[in-house]
Amino acid sequence: MPKALIIGAGIGGIATALRLNKKGYDVLVLEANGYPGGKLHASTIEGYRFDLGPSLFTMPHFVDELYELHGRNPLEYFQYHRKQTICNYFWEDGTRFSAKADKKTFIEQATRAFDEPEDHLRAYLQGNEKKFELTKGLFLEKSLHKIGTYLSSGTIKALIQLGALDINASLDQINQKSFKNQKLVQLFNRYATYNGSSPYKTPGIMSMIPHLEMHYGTFYPKGGMHRISLSLYELALRQGIQFRFQKKVTKIQVEERTAVGVHTETEKYQADIVVSNMDVFPTYKYLLKDQKHPKKILAQERSSSALIFYWGIAGQFDVLDLHNIFFSEDYQKEFHSIFETKTLYGDPTVYINITSKEDPADAPDQSENWFVMINAPGNYGQDWEVLKYVARNNIINKLNRILKVDLEKMIKVEHILDPMGIENSTSSYRGALYGAASNNKMAAFLRHPNFSPRIKNLYFTGGSVHPGGGIPLCLLSAKIVGEMVPKV
C-alpha cells in the first residue's frame, strides 16, 4: 500500500488524511504540537471553557461530507444547530441591530433600522448570490493553477459576465454605491475580515461572503468549535490513520525533483506522497531550504492577525448573543493602522464570542465566557506588551460606554493571545490568520497552488494556500488535493 505523509494536524491536514485514506493510501500525520486541530483548539480555565481559535462555523456540509465519504452517518458523531441570529451589532451612538439569518427578515428589519430602501438591500443580496454562483466552480472548488479549470463551461460563463463580479472596485466602493446609510456600509464592509483583508482594498467580489452566511447559515457545533477538529480526528483514528504528536518536521526530502519523505529532529520517514498542512511560508523557509522558492507568491502581503482576550465574566448580558460586534467610529482609520502603520487603532472594532449562550456548561453559574478579539497587524517586531496593555484599556472603556457597565470588576479569569503567540503556536508566518491577504484583485490567483509545480508528489493544504483561510476553505483545499492525488 503506498504511503502518504501529512505535515500538520490542522483541520486541512486531517481532512486531507481522510480523503487520501479513502483513495487507498496508508496515511501518517506528523504534528509538532501535542494535540490535533491546529488553530481549532480549546482550553478550560477555572471552570470557563474557551475555544482558542476560529469562532464562526458555516457550511457544515463540508464536515458531513467527510463522514459520508467513509460510509458513516455524521449525526452519530457530530451534531450542530443553526443559529437564527447571525450577529448583534453595536455602535457608539446607541444604535443596535440584530442581524437575522433569514434573508426576508433581515431585509425587512434592516430597511427599518437603517432607513434604507428595501429594493437596495434585495438587489445587493441578489448580486452577491450571482457572484457566488458564477465563481464557485472557479475560485473555490477547483485549482486555479490547472489549465482544465479554465476550459469548463462554468468558467467561460463567469468570464463573459466579468463585470458582474466587481473585481475592479473595492468592497467599500461597492457598498458605498449600494447603500446610503454608513452604518449599513460598515456592517457589510466587515466581511473583508473573514479573509483577513481590508474592505478598502479587497475587491468587491468579496461581497459574496454575506450570501454564504445567509444562504448556508451560521451554526454552533455541540461541544464548541474544538469539536469540529476533534470529531474529524476521531473519525481518522477509526479509519486507521496514524498520528504522531510532538514530531516536528525539519525537512522535506526531495530526490530528482520528487518528494520522497520527511525528516524530523530524530527520525526519517519515507513516503510516496507528501502533503504540507503547515503555513506555506515556513514550509519553504525551513523544510525546503535547498529548493527554489516561489518568491513572488511568498512575498505577498500577509493577512491581518488578532489580539484575543479570553475573559471569564461574573455576570450575564441579555443583549449579547453568540456573535457580537462593537464597531469603531472610524473604520477606515482602523484598517489603515492595521495594514499601513502595522499597529493597533485606538478605537478598535471589538468582536465578542460567548459560547456559554449556547452551552451554559462553558461557564460557571450566572457567568459567561467571553472570547474578545480585535483585528491586529501581523507580528513585525512590535512591542506587544505595550500594545496589549493599551488595547485592553481601550476595549474595556469602549464596552463600558456601550454596555453601561464596569467591566473590570467582572473579569475573574484572563488569558491573552497575541500575533506573536499565534505565530509561535501555529507556525503561521507573522501570526497571519489567513496566509496572504486578499487586498488586490489578483490575490486569488497569486495564492500558492495545492501542488508544487517543480516537485513531483508534493502537495499543499490549509488556509495559507488555495482557496484561502477559514474552516470551509481549508476543507475545500483538502478536497482539491484529494482530487489531484492519483487513486491507488
| pLDDT, tens digit (0-9, with 9 covering 90-100), for 80-97 | 999 999 999 999 999 999
CA–CA dist 287, 278 (Å, integer) = 10
Q: What is the pLDDT of residue 304?
A: 97
What are the chain's domains? Answer: 3-37+226-300+436-484 (3.50.50.60), 102-216 (no CATH)
59 vs 194: CA distance, rounded Å = 14
**11 within 8 A of 226, measured Cβ to Cβ:** no
Quote the radius of gyration of the chain (alpha carbons, Å).
22
Confidence of residue 163 (pLDDT cuts 50, 70, 90): low
Query: Per residue in 254-300, pLDDT tens?
Result: 999 999 999 999 999 999 999 999 999 999 999 999 999 999 989 99
- Quick count: other Cβ atoms within 10 Å of Cβ 133? 14
For residues 261 and 264, what is the distance between their CA atoms, to the nearest angstrom?
A: 10
- Given a contact cutoff of 8 angstroms between Cβ atoms, the answer to whether 350 and 399 are in contact is yes
The confidence score (pLDDT) of residue 415 equals 98
CA 305 vs. chain centroid, Å, equals: 11
Least confident of 131-140, 247-256, 436-445: 131-140
Query: What's the average model confidence in pLDDT over 380-400?
Result: 98
| Among 77, 97, 110, 60, residue whose Cα is nearest residue 220 | 60
pLDDT at 151: 45
Read off the C-alpha cell for 45.
480555565
Interior angle at CA 82, CA 122 and CA 71, nearest 5: 120
The whole-angstrom separation of Cα 212 and Cα 171 is: 16
For the chain, the average pLDDT equals 93
3-state secondary structure of 401: helix
What's the grid cell of residue 481? 488535493
Cell of 143: 485549482
Q: Are 198 and 339 in contact (CB under 8 A)?
A: yes
Residues 98-149: pLDDT tens digits?
999 999 999 999 999 999 999 999 999 999 999 888 877 666 665 555 545 4
Separation of alpha carbons 393 and 374, rounded Å: 13
Which stretch of DSSP H or E encloses residue 5? Answer: strand 3-7
User: Does the structure show a pLDDT above 90 at 445?
Assistant: no
DSSP state of 350: E
| Mean pLDDT computed over 454-474 | 94
Distance CA 477, CA 488 (A): 20
Strands 48-51 and 96-100, bridge-based pairing: unpaired
pTM: 0.94
Distance CA 267, CA 290 (A): 19
Q: What are phi and psi of 264, to 5 degrees?
A: -105, -170
